[in-house]
Structure 1
């Protein structure tokens, strides 16, 4: 089941999956508490939160109109390749398009996730670059 969640609910998965076990207080994003930011989670049949994402209002200079940025998308390692992340991302896209009238979603994608995002219709808009301590990324986007 997909639900909107509170920012603090994203932190355990952000820490585990995206920040190599860094303390949860170091996994908070500047925009987490802004009223324009929302967080969504996928709960399994046992009501465990197994996948999270955050969307924050942030335009990208290469793209026109109103945009949002995806941050902190993470799936628990025990729940990979079950379709949860794709379902969660499609739910966020639907909310952005129908409820918030957003024109596009963009983000910095880790190289290991390129095929996942490409399957969901996202396109590259930068060359590969390194985020120190995290690894290689490319900017990606999708018009909604």
Structure 2
């Protein structure tokens, strides 16, 4: 089941999956609690939160219109390859398009996730670059 969640609900998975066990309080993004930021979570059949994402209202400087940025998408290692991330991201894109009426979603994709995002129709808009302590990324976007 997909639900809107709070910043605090995202921190354990962010720490585990995205930040190499960094303390949860250090996994908070400055925009997490802005009024137009939202967080979604996927709860499995047992009611455990297994996949999360955050979307913040942020225009990309290379794109002409108002946009949203995907941040902190993470799936628990035991819940990978079950389609949860796909369902969650599709729900976020639908919300951005229909409820918020924003024309695109963009983000910095980790190299390991390039095939996942490509499978959903996202396109590259940068060469690969390194985020210190996290690794190689490329900017990606999709018109909604």
Q: Provide Cα deviations, 1:59-116, integer angstroms capped at 9, x if missing partner.
A: 0011111100000000000000000000000000000000000110000000000000
Aligned partner of 2:42 in structure 1 is 42
TM-aligned CA deviation for residue 31 of structure 1: 0.3
Aligned partner of 1:74 in structure 2 is 74
In the alignment, the residues of structure 2 paired with residue 110 and residue 121 of structure 1 have an alpha-carbon distance, to the nearest angstrom, of 16
Where in structure 1 do 4 or more consecutive aligned residues deviate above 4 Å? Answer: none
In the alignment, the residues of structure 1 paired with residue 30 and residue 118 of structure 2 have an alpha-carbon distance, to the nearest angstrom, of 27
In the alignment, the residues of structure 1 paired with residue 117 and residue 7 of structure 2 have an alpha-carbon distance, to the nearest angstrom, of 23
In the alignment, the residues of structure 2 paired with residue 64 and residue 42 of structure 1 have an alpha-carbon distance, to the nearest angstrom, of 32
Q: Please state whether the residue corresponding to 1:45 is helix, strand or coil.
A: coil
Unaligned 5+ runs, structure 1: none
Q: Normalising to structure 1: TM-score of the pair?
A: 1.00
Residues matched between the structures, number: 144
In the alignment, the residues of structure 2 paired with residue 32 and residue 61 of structure 1 have an alpha-carbon distance, to the nearest angstrom, of 20
Unaligned 5+ runs, structure 2: none
Q: Provide the alpha-carbon RMSD of the alignment.
A: 0.3
In the alignment, the residues of structure 1 paired with residue 102 and residue 48 of structure 2 have an alpha-carbon distance, to the nearest angstrom, of 30
Q: Normalising to structure 2: TM-score of the pair?
A: 1.00
Matched, 1:7 2:7: yes
TM-aligned CA deviation for residue 127 of structure 1: 0.1
TM-aligned CA deviation for residue 43 of structure 1: 0.1
In the alignment, the residues of structure 2 paired with residue 98 and residue 137 of structure 1 have an alpha-carbon distance, to the nearest angstrom, of 29
Q: Please state whether the residue corresponding to 2:73 is helix, strand or coil.
A: strand
